[in-house]
Amino acid sequence: MTIRLYDSKSAQLREFVPLVAGQVGMYVCGPTVQSSPHIGHLRSALVYDHLRRWLTHEGFAVTLVRNVTDIDDKVLENARAAGVEQWWALAYRMEREFTDAYSALRIQPPTYEPRATACIPDMIELVRLLMKRGHAYAIPGSNGNVYFDTASWSSYGELTNQTVMVMPQIEQLDDGAPGKRDPRDFALWKAHKPEEPESASWDTSWGRGRPGWHIECSAMATKYLGTTFDIHGGGLDLRFPHHENELAQSAAAGHDFAQLWLHNGLVAVGDQKMSKSLGNSLYAAQLLESARAIVVRYFLGSAHYRSQLEFHPTALAEAKSAFERIETFLARAARVGGPLKSGKVTNEFRDAMNDDMSIPTALAALHDTVRSGNALFDAGNDKGGLTNARTALAMLDVLGLNPYAPEWAGTSSEGAATRAALDSLVTRLLASRAHAREQKDFVTSDRIRDDFASAGIIVEDTPQGAHWSIDGE
C-alpha cells in the first residue's frame, strides 16, 4: 500500500517513492554533544526509529545516517566552563550518554554514525566548491572566516516558505562579524580564535579554523548517502535556520540533496515548551529512573510525531497502566498457548502507519486487539484469543515494544528475580488454598483469599489452574 509522509518543504502529504526501488536513504540530525541528553533528544530519535522499523517491515532496505556534532561553539564553551582539560573529552563523554540513552530505549543503532571531526576534509571541499561557484566569500583579513552569500541564492527560504525580507529575528542571525555582506549570511568556516584550543582548528587555504554548524550536516549527509537521497529528518526547532541553511548551501553546490523533509514536534513540560533558558529540561537519566525503559518508549511514541508531546506528572503512570494492560493480556495468552510468536499486523494498523506514521491510531488498533482478545478468552474461545495475541505481538514488534523480543531480554533482572520469588510464595499459598477447599476448610481458604486481596493480588481460577496477577497489571 502507499506510504504517505508530510513533507515540510512542500507543506503537504506526499506519496513516498524512493529514488531506488526497495531502498531508502535517510539522514537524521543527531545531537550536538555539549551536555547530557534530554527528553526532546529521545523523542526525536524515537520518531525516526519508528519510521525505520516501519519501512523495514514493509520490505525496504534502509540506510540511516545520524551524525554526532562533536565540534561546535557550545562544546568549546561548556568544556571551558566545566574546567575540562580537553574539549573532545567532554564531547566523547556526552556522546556516550546519548548512546546509552538510545540503547536503553532500544533505538536501533544507525547504519552510519559519523562524527563531525572525522569529516573535516569533506567540509573543506564543500566550502571550496561553494566559493568556486560564487556562493561563498572569505572575509579579507579575518584569517579564515568564510560565509555563505544568501543574496547569491535566489531560492534561499524555500524550505520554510518565507522570503528573506520577512524572516524572523534577522538581527539574531547576525553574529556581528566585520565584513559580512548581509545579516542573513551564515558561517561556513570560522577563523581560529586565540582563546580557543589549537586542537579545535584545521588548516585550509583561506586560513586556520573550524567548520560552521550547518556545513557539517551537508557534508556528512552527502558523504554517506550521495548528493541526492530520500529523507532528511530532525526536530522542528532545526527547521530554521539550520535546515534552511543546509538546503541552501547544498543546492548551491549543485546537489539535489533531500527529496523529502520530515520534522518532529517538540516537548512541553507542564504547560511550557521545554527550554534550557526556562530551566525546565527533563533529562534522559531522570526519565529512565522514573519508569521501565519500555514504558518510557511507549510514552515517548504515544503522540503523533508532528505534534507536541506533553509531559505532565502523571504521564508515565498513565503509560505504565496502558502498557501493562497489554502485558497482562500477553501473559494470559502465554498461559493458554505457551510461547507466543508474532503474526501479522491488522489492516487498521497498517493504514495508520502508512498515513504519515499515525502512531496514536496504530496504538488504538493495538488496544482494540487486546480488548477483543480478552473478550475471546472470557468467552472460552482460546483459539481466537491466541490469534489476537499473535497479532498484537506483530504490532508491538513494529513499534519496538515487544516485551518478549530478544532486544528486551534481561532488561530487568532485579524485577525478574523479585517476580520469581513472589511467584514461588504465591504458588505455595495457592496450593494451600486449593487443599483447604478440597478439605472444605473454608475458613483457611477465605483467609488466604483475603490475604491476596489485601496485598493487591488478583487470583484467576481457570480450567488450567489458578493464576495470579498484581492489581493494575
Whether 247 and 379 map to the same domain: the answer is: no
Quote the CA–CA distance of 98 and 53 in Å, as a whole number.
Answer: 20
Whether 133 and 102 map to the same domain: the answer is: yes
Q: Which amino acid, residue 65?
A: V
Q: Is the pLDDT of residue 415 over 50?
A: no
Chain center to CA of 457: 36
Average pLDDT taken over every residue of the chain: 90
Whether 245 and 105 map to the same domain: the answer is: yes
Residue 278 lies in a domain: no
Question: What is residue 439's predicted lDDT score, i.e. its pLDDT?
Answer: 83
Average pLDDT estimate for 300-312? 96
Residue 24 β-bridge partners: 62
Task: Assign residue 55 the CATH number of its domain.
Answer: 3.40.50.620
Residue 9 lies in a domain: no
Question: What's the order of all strands across the beta sheet hosting 146-148?
Answer: 136-138, 146-148, 186-191, 209-211
- Phi and psi torsions of 191, nearest 5°: -65, 145
Cell of 185: 549570511
Helix (H, G, I), strand (E, B) or coil at 43: helix
Quote the CA–CA distance of 139 and 141 in Å, as a whole number.
Answer: 6
Quote the CA–CA distance of 460 and 268 in Å, as a whole number.
Answer: 41
Conformation bin of residue 137: beta by default, left when phi > 0, alpha when psi is -120 to 50: beta
Assessment of whether the complete model's pTM goes beyond 0.95 = no
Whether 84 and 208 map to the same domain: the answer is: yes
Q: Is the pLDDT of residue 132 over 80?
A: yes
Whether 393 and 334 map to the same domain: the answer is: yes
Residue 142's contacts (CB-CB under 8 Å, 6 or more residues apart) are 177, 178, 179, 191, 207
Whether 172 and 252 map to the same domain: the answer is: yes
186-191 vs 4-7, strand pairing mode: unpaired
Q: What is the pLDDT of residues 134-178, one digit of tens each?
A: 999 999 888 899 999 999 999 999 999 887 665 655 545 556 678
Helix (H, G, I), strand (E, B) or coil at 159: coil
Whether 392 and 461 map to the same domain: the answer is: no
Quote the CA–CA distance of 435 and 430 in Å, as a whole number.
Answer: 9
Residue 274 lies in a domain: no
Q: How many CA atoms lie within 13 A of 47 on its CB side?
A: 33
Whether 252 and 232 map to the same domain: the answer is: yes
Residue 181 lies in a domain: yes
- Counting the structural domains of the chain, the total is 3
Whether 116 and 68 map to the same domain: the answer is: yes
Q: Which of 416, 426, 436 is nearest to 470 (CA)?
A: 426
Whether 388 and 428 map to the same domain: the answer is: no
Q: Domain range holding 427?
A: 416-470
Whether 39 and 171 map to the same domain: the answer is: yes
Q: What is the pLDDT of residues 59-100, one digit of tens each?
A: 999 999 999 999 999 999 999 999 988 999 999 999 999 999
Residue where the block lists cell 565584513 = 179
